[in-house]
Structure 1
Amino acid sequence: MELYILKELLIKDPIIMVKLTNKGRTLKNLQDKVKYGYIAKPFIFSIKSWKKDSKKIISKIETLFDSKIIIRSSAWSEDNYNTSLAGFFTTVKNVDVKDKYKIQTAIEDVIESYQKIEQDLDKQEILVQKEISNVEISGVVLSRDISSNSPYFVINYEKGSTDLITSGFTKKPTLIKIARNIQIDNLSGNIKKIMQMTLELEAITNCQLLDIEFAVFENNIYIFQVRKISSIKRYDIKLDKKVFEAIKTIEKKFKSFSKPQHGLYGNQAIFGNMPDWNPAEIIGTTPKPLAYSLYDYIFMKSSWRNGRGEIGYYNPPHSLMANFSGKPYIDVRADFNSLIPKSITSTTANKLINYYINKLINNPEFHDKVEFEIVESCFTLLTDNFLKSLEKNGFDENEIDFIEKELLTLTNFSIKQSSQLDQIFKDRFELLDKVNYDLIINSTVKTIYNQCQTIAYILEVCIQNGAIPFSYFVRKAFIGLDILKSFLDIKVINKNEYNLIFSSFKTVTSILKDDLDALYSKKITKDVFLEKYGHLRPGTYDITSLNYKENFNIYFLEILPEIPKELYDKLPPEINLKDIHGKINNHLKKTKLEFSSEDLIEFIENSLQMREASKLSFSKSIDATLNLIEILGNSCGINRDDMAFIKIQNLTDFVSCFEEKSGDTIKKNISNNKKEFLITSKIILPHLIVNAEDIKFIRLEELKPNYITNETVIGEPIHLSSKTTTLPSNIEECIVFIENADPGFDWIFTRRIKGLVTKYGGAGSHMTLRCAELKIPAAIGCGEVIFDKLSQKKKIMLNCEAEIIKGII
């Protein structure tokens, strides 16, 4: 039975419809009609009757109830068909029914809370019920996802306390989203009971927009409140059906991809939107078609693996990103294949990939840290532990010895013997840096064919001289970071020393700050500054995001701000790494690694510098591509917002067919892509898809962020996006919240923010490294549960040492 279809409900008796009114009346009307839930007997009285004879009402309560009671608001404006004031009025729990004074005081407290909003006070009502305590779970179920108006049930619950119900919020919930076309027989336990209860209430109220508060007690579902979702006025059933069709297509695609694939080791596929190349961080979980296709075209087809292959990793002949109805997902199996030494035998490689996949399945909380916590991609101080684990998982001595040997060879080569390769790739991205994109764009004949041909040329140059070198240097940087992190993990160095190492590095972000200071002090001109950085934009692949040149006055200040006195102590001192080198060198002597601490730190700094420099170069190509696409759109009468819906393949196909196309063709492509994107925007998927059932049953857990520095800060949260055009005057006093840790947000580091929180981003992401370098307290990669909850607070405390982030107001 599909949950979505009301006529398939297992309700045999004729349904008597119940109209949603206020809290108490709705519950009373439902009490004798529900079979899949239980409603504690309600006693309802008006404030007018209370004023007339409060003693009589207290006496009635004493007669009706013999244990603890809960006294709740039941205002006519609170939970009716058109409005909801969840948590607005007072509720008093655990009232002793034998204590007249406590009953009277509790009722008067509820009445007092009505003064906030109610005009006709005498008409308002009070609801009294038996207190249900020691519940298994309590929570809220919604008939529909209110953030996207998508056809998903949303269950938000916590174990034990009913605080979620009475206060309108919870501290640490479990969040589950279930597609409305799921088969009810596939559910079990309390979730199945909750769904049966919800469907029955939808049928009885003739409403598929319900907000239901419940608790599970002694295997029964207790219903505390039923109201209409007031924030959704209507929904499109035809669009819902298209979403269900798309979900079925995703299920088929997942099952097809999960089969053994030629050129890929491993018996099972897993897909995630945050592992390694992390599309959730770079382009978001629901990118527009142009952003998706551009990232896919430049990196995910082959650049991602070609750079790694040069270091000595296996180069699997596969694309990395799977398209699940417009949602970007990393093929984790393919990713793991690219992180094993290429000389490992096929039998051992297959076993190794299966080992990694099973490890991730058993430890899904590491899905955004796979390169550090799941895969052993180089030799570190923790490799011995990894090798012992292989022994326990069926690897023989010869296999283990060979894996150890190959990891050692790859690591020593990367750090001590790859300088020639480094120079080759450095020459390539420096060549890219010299390209005069303005000249190329201005000299392009203004026909659709020629403009598309120029776009294809710029992208090919970007891939060869930008994307592949970046892939090479970013993998080398991860090798160095993984080794350095292992010294921290086994306590050879402490977190302060680890952070001190990063503070000693000089990367693009540091140079940008220096150049901005030079601009403010008039040592360089604005034109010189923008020539170097003007192409950067907070959404690197988003054509609607304004670059630094277009939005300079918002991203940067016109005059150099005075540094607050209290910040002087935070400016980095002159850094001496001598003692740290000594500790690391003493330990390196006990290993088979053939480099010193000085070699390692120099390697990490150089790799990070090359990674950031190559990124600065290839992002110029992307900016030029987006500028040319905007020009192309203007020539066809299409604005830049609409051009965000074109796919790169739509444009490159014009070149391959060798014929001129009209603007109407582009408009038709955009129209079709918009229809597809509308469906994409309604689909909800988990961060990690392990099996087909995960596609319809989505459990969203709180993620553990990557905390940077040991500092504690308190500040007002400010939410910035790639579309930000205004900033508060007190941004220096704020903790900045951004969804995607895109390098184009580097401008925020020129504003001396208190801290940074991102929804997506891993342990080795751009923003993680920048905050470590600049000693900015940060929580990178919180996930939507924490991020969405905290961004609504008035004050946030970020305690990086204790690894705590919470709202305090």
Structure 2
Amino acid sequence: MPKSKKIAYTFVIADLLHFGHLQLLIAAKQSCNKFICGVLTDEAVMSFKGRPISDYEERKSVVESIRYVDEVMMQCSQDPTENLKKIQAKYPDAEILFVYGDNWKNVPGADYIKSANVKTIRQHFYEKLSNENISYKIIETVLPDKSGFETFTSEFTVKDFDVFRGERPRHVITTKAKTLQTLKPLLKKSYIEKTYVITVKEWLDYKNEILYSIREKFRGGKIVVRSSSINEDSLINSKAGCYHSELNVDPDDFDHIHRAINKTIASYEGEKYLEQVLIQQQAIDIYMSGVIFTHDLETSAPYYVINYDITGKTDTVTGGAGGSLAKVFRNTETFKLLQPWRDIIEAVKEIEEIIPGFDLDIEFGVKRNGQIVLFQVRPLAANRDAVKVEVNLVEKSLCMVEEHYLKLSQSFKQANENTLVFSDMLFWNPAELIGHCPSNLAYSIFEKILMVKAWHLGIQQLGYPTLPSLRLLERFLYKPYINVNLAFLALIPGTVPIKLHQRLQSYYLSKLDSDHSLHDKAEFEIMFTCYDFNLPSRLCALETHGFSSEDIQSIHDALLDFTKDIFKNYRAIYDALKDKIEKLEKFNLIPLTQLVEKMKAGQGMQLVNEMLEKCEELGTVSFSAVARLAFIGDALVRSLVTSGVISREDRDLIMNSFSTIATSLTKEINEVASGYVPIEAFLDKYGHLRSGTYDIQKDRYDRIDRNTWLQARKISRAVSSIKSELKNRINAFILDSPLKIDYETLYDFVALFISAREHFKFIYTKTVSNILELIAEAGNSMGISTRDLSCLTLDHLDLLFSGRPDELLHAISVAKQALLKTSLIDLPPLIFSTEDFRIIEYLSSRPNFITGKSEIGEIVVLDNKTNLQIDIDNKIVFIENADPGYHWIFSKNIKGLVTKYGGAASHMAICCAEFNVPAAIGCGEKYDKLAACKMISLNCAEKIIKEAL
């Protein structure tokens, strides 16, 4: 029989009674018939905290006056067991409840509570008025403008020197100098340069003595004057880079020291007397410097994140001037690391052993003799409250992806002795076309219509070789890659003797391995896919890779024959391809409303399959062919520049003279904006475009606010600027070349296929867009969002169109869980071995600069979080992976374009040349740093992109 009376008990100190305590007392009272509150004695409080401000009688009187408390008991220790025993003895027929705050790690008196069947109630802890936060406010009142007084020097551990910690120490003020001072005698795998520390007050009182002391201590080398603020290295915020530091100070130059110290002091905030200035011996003979985070700054994933620079300067990374990026999975065994990563990570692990339990931000340098120099260690404030990603979950996923790679590699090596390599940018550039982390649906459609056979059938009809049915596209976890080995073989023209194919593939792989930054430029700078006017010079590189002069001549002649044949038949080739794309264009005339009606009538799966087949047969196979022919044309024009026949500016004029679908789009936007063309006619033609061709979550033009793209722009055309002198110069050169074509033929070829490439893509993407609309409509009828639909693959669509919601929702749930497990795992841009999954060196990409123009301007980033109505006029636009859905940006007066992904011949590169818009296409990891800037300088002539200060 349940007990009718309930007695609740809790205990308090009640020294600084506040709203949080009141919440606890109210919760206790509401749970019972009678509420008894214990008040700790002075001795009990002092056993685990300092002496209370108020004595026991004063504190007891306060609690007794609170109307929610029915009775007060003295509690003589932190353990409530004795009082609970007394209450149970006094009220044997009552149910006893113990109420405590959920900030307690362990329930006090847990053993007795369990044995006596005392029920426990957890009350939410009121963090805002915790003792810690109150203490912070008190300290900040005493020292205005200071914050974050948690320290971690008191958390350092030293072997065989242990200190009991009931709870983590708080509120101890520390500085950069104090941290380095504490670390210096403990380090064996790195070292700290000679250091001298002064306070601001000491500088003001003993300036001359300090100057002479600096000269005496640091004679014979340069010094660094560095900030060492109380605010700088706390657990709450780091304020890294907020204060002044100065390199290359001469210890004999008192004026320079004086200026450097004063400038550092002037950079501090508020009251400065307690602040410090740190003077250090400047490290010499540094060949690498950088910053290491012991967990990922954005995700807290278990990676050592290393931003580094190899210029020999020690402030390029910390000063925001750039550098390279590497990530090392924390479970990676150090013996597997190459130098200098091995010594760097071992030095960091030693520091982590000294400072356990904290994510760290470590500034370091590496001397030419291999010594690791430590410049600074601070807690990684940004990660203080982040939820850690389980290292074992990452380990499990990495083992799975390594096994996948090894299986592919083993099956590939049965027919090929070369290492199997994958790239996210080479050839079909999936990072640009569908993104580095596409949804399942986007990947599935892209794979179906392009990567199964269309890519190969398209180029095969041009004379490229027939290959066994190997997969060009591979997915590791969430990320799509191109099989580099297969791409290299596929792009060797069939006229090249078959005995040279494997050797050429080996040469290509070797060149890529020696310079990873070439993987988005491989078709121009590594491979020989057609004849160009600079080919004899490029082929000379084969001499040092075992190719005989006969081999080289054979390759030259084969490429020449292949390209001549292309030019002989290019009009007939174009007409055949045009006939197919026009059939798809006619198929696309079926109104979307009619397609939706068929879908509602139960023909959804049949309809989508038909659309996919038409898209591949009539669209993407033809697109693959014209894209390859457009590349050949672009390569020929580029080779005129490298051969010295024309300048880069001449090339820009030629490329600017072509008209593509982007020109038509911009022209018709002008006409709509001016009232000459009805908006309905425009949307009927262009409404299918979306800023993410394969992404169901992106709205089409006909579903977004028209103000996004509806604005007139004056189109710059450059046809008339191609002077006769330039035409004649090109004509004379190419007529005399082995290719023996004239200027008009070359121009017609290049203009035809560059325009065709954009037009064919425009047509087949309408089919894709309509497929996505049908899927979205079917999902909407079942109450499934486009976000959830994006988790599906084409294999799941039968569940959608046959109305099986339970199975469909299960598939979505499974896909979401899989993405959740893998999305925080970093994957490399290039894969040469399983080690690349654990040791990721991001490429220092060389962007592809378009035009020779230079601009300085404010940036605007267009991404999933951006309202597309944002003003982009007179701004430099940043887009991670651009596609035709972003053509509307050329209807605005943008200053420039920057993309993370994209090759030299990508469609956005062509559009920028067409509109004479300066651009940096394919900036790689540098994109993220630039996107964080307010202003950038884009100098295409000098091939420089950087922050504008």
Question: Is 1:739 matched up with 2:890?
Answer: no
Tell me the residue number matched to 1:472: 625
Tell me the residue number matched to 2:321: 171
Q: Distance in 1 between matches of 2:840 and 2:792?
A: 30
Tell me the residue number matched to 1:4: none
Cα contact 1:34–1:200 (8 A) shared by 2: yes
Cα contact 1:283–1:541 (8 A) shared by 2: yes
Tell me the residue number matched to 1:634: 780
Letter of the aligned partner of 1:541 in structure 2?
Y
Note closer, same or farther for the CA distance 1:265–1:59 as it changes in structure 2 (3 Å cut): closer
Deviation at 1:727, TM superposition (A): 4.2
Tell me the residue number matched to 2:377: 226
Deviation at 1:69, TM superposition (A): 4.4
Tell me the residue number matched to 1:591: 737
Match of 1:801 among 916, 937, 941: 941
Deviation track 1:93-129 (CA, whole Å, cap 9, x = no partner) reads 45555666665554443332213xx4x5444333344
Rg (Cα) greater in structure: 2
Deviation at 1:178, TM superposition (A): 1.2
Question: Is 1:709 matched up with 2:851?
Answer: yes
Equivalences for 1:144-543 in 2 at 5 Å?
A: 144-159=295-310, 163-164=314-315, 168-217=318-367, 219-234=370-385, 239-259=390-410, 261=412, 267-316=418-467, 317-342=469-494, 344-390=496-542, 393-395=545-547, 399-400=551-552, 402-434=554-586, 435=588, 436-446=590-600, 450-543=603-696
Q: Distance in 1 between matches of 2:462 and 2:546?
A: 28
Note closer, same or farther for the CA distance 1:415–1:724 as it changes in structure 2 (3 Å cut): farther
Say which SS state the counterpart of residue 155 (structure 1) adopts: strand
Match of 2:819 among 677, 702, 706: 677
Deviation at 1:522, TM superposition (A): 1.9
TM-score (normalised: structure 1): 0.89
Q: Distance in 2 between matches of 1:652 and 1:319?
A: 25
Letter of the aligned partner of 2:536 in structure 1?
D
Tell me the residue number matched to 1:5: none
**694-703 or 381-390: bigger deviation:** 381-390
Note closer, same or farther for the CA distance 1:310–1:463 as it changes in structure 2 (3 Å cut): same
Q: Distance in 2 between matches of 1:495 and 1:51?
A: 59
Note closer, same or farther for the CA distance 1:661–1:16 as it changes in structure 2 (3 Å cut): farther
TM-score (normalised: structure 2): 0.77
**576-585 or 50-59: bigger deviation:** 50-59
Note closer, same or farther for the CA distance 1:745–1:666 as it changes in structure 2 (3 Å cut): same
Letter of the aligned partner of 2:231 in structure 1?
S
Match of 2:909 among 768, 779, 793: 768
Deviation at 1:84, TM superposition (A): 0.6
Q: Distance in 2 between matches of 1:79 and 1:321?
A: 47
Note closer, same or farther for the CA distance 1:73–1:237 as it changes in structure 2 (3 Å cut): closer
Q: Distance in 1 between matches of 2:295 and 2:319?
A: 18
Cα contact 2:300–2:389 (8 A) shared by 1: no
Deviation at 1:80, TM superposition (A): 1.4
Letter of the aligned partner of 1:442 in structure 2?
V
Match of 1:751 among 892, 917, 925: 892
Say which SS state the counterpart of residue 153 (structure 1) adopts: strand
Deviation at 1:157, TM superposition (A): 2.3
Cα contact 1:209–1:229 (8 A) shared by 2: yes
Q: Distance in 1 between matches of 2:235 and 2:413?
A: 56
Tell me the residue number matched to 2:178: 25
Deviation track 1:15-47 (CA, whole Å, cap 9, x = no partner) reads 758989432222222222222222345554544
Deviation track 1:51-86 (CA, whole Å, cap 9, x = no partner) reads 666677667767866565444322222111221100
Cα contact 1:163–1:170 (8 A) shared by 2: no
Cα contact 1:95–1:102 (8 A) shared by 2: yes
Q: Distance in 2 between matches of 1:306 and 1:654?
A: 31
Tell me the residue number matched to 2:134: none
Deviation track 1:739-781 (CA, whole Å, cap 9, x = no partner) reads 1131211111110211111111111100111111111111111
**238-247 or 312-321: bigger deviation:** 238-247
Letter of the aligned partner of 2:430 in structure 1?
P
Deviation at 1:642, TM superposition (A): 2.2
Deviation at 1:149, TM superposition (A): 2.9
Match of 1:649 among 795, 800, 817: 795
Deviation at 1:402, TM superposition (A): 4.8
Q: Distance in 2 between matches of 1:511 and 1:667?
A: 42
Note closer, same or farther for the CA distance 1:102–1:613 as it changes in structure 2 (3 Å cut): closer
Tell me the residue number matched to 2:151: none
Cα contact 2:300–2:388 (8 A) shared by 1: no
Letter of the aligned partner of 1:139 in structure 2?
G
Letter of the aligned partner of 2:408 in structure 1?
F
Tell me the residue number matched to 1:8: none
Cα contact 2:657–2:717 (8 A) shared by 1: no
Deviation at 1:667, TM superposition (A): 1.8
Note closer, same or farther for the CA distance 1:355–1:72 as it changes in structure 2 (3 Å cut): closer
Deviation at 1:174, TM superposition (A): 3.0
Say which SS state the counterpart of residue 230 (structure 2) adopts: coil
Note closer, same or farther for the CA distance 1:57–1:410 as it changes in structure 2 (3 Å cut): closer
Say which SS state the counterpart of residue 801 (structure 1) adopts: coil
Cα contact 1:146–1:231 (8 A) shared by 2: yes
Match of 2:706 among 540, 548, 553: 553
Gaps of 5+ in 1: 1-10
Question: Is 1:138 matched up with 2:289?
Answer: yes
Deviation at 1:200, TM superposition (A): 1.5
Note closer, same or farther for the CA distance 1:763–1:95 as it changes in structure 2 (3 Å cut): closer
Deviation track 1:516-539 (CA, whole Å, cap 9, x = no partner) reads 122122221001111111111111
Note closer, same or farther for the CA distance 1:33–1:452 as it changes in structure 2 (3 Å cut): farther
Gaps of 5+ in 2: 1-156
Letter of the aligned partner of 2:473 in structure 1?
M
Larger RCO, structure (CA 8 Å, separation 6 or more): 1
Letter of the aligned partner of 2:342 in structure 1?
K
Note closer, same or farther for the CA distance 1:772–1:263 as it changes in structure 2 (3 Å cut): farther
Q: Distance in 2 between matches of 1:265 and 1:740?
A: 33
Question: Is 1:84 matched up with 2:238?
Answer: yes
Q: Distance in 2 between matches of 1:340 and 1:374?
A: 12
**632-641 or 232-241: bigger deviation:** 232-241
Letter of the aligned partner of 2:533 in structure 1?
L
Cα contact 2:431–2:480 (8 A) shared by 1: yes
Question: Is 1:665 matched up with 2:807?
Answer: yes
Note closer, same or farther for the CA distance 1:464–1:209 as it changes in structure 2 (3 Å cut): same
Q: Distance in 2 between matches of 1:371 and 1:524?
A: 41
Cα contact 1:544–1:723 (8 A) shared by 2: no
**385-394 or 146-155: bigger deviation:** 385-394
Letter of the aligned partner of 1:807 in structure 2?
E
Deviation at 1:280, TM superposition (A): 1.2
Q: Distance in 1 between matches of 2:554 and 2:311?
A: 51
Cα contact 2:332–2:838 (8 A) shared by 1: yes
Cα contact 1:243–1:683 (8 A) shared by 2: yes
Deviation at 1:189, TM superposition (A): 3.4
Letter of the aligned partner of 1:700 in structure 2?
Y
Say which SS state the counterpart of residue 305 (structure 2) adopts: strand
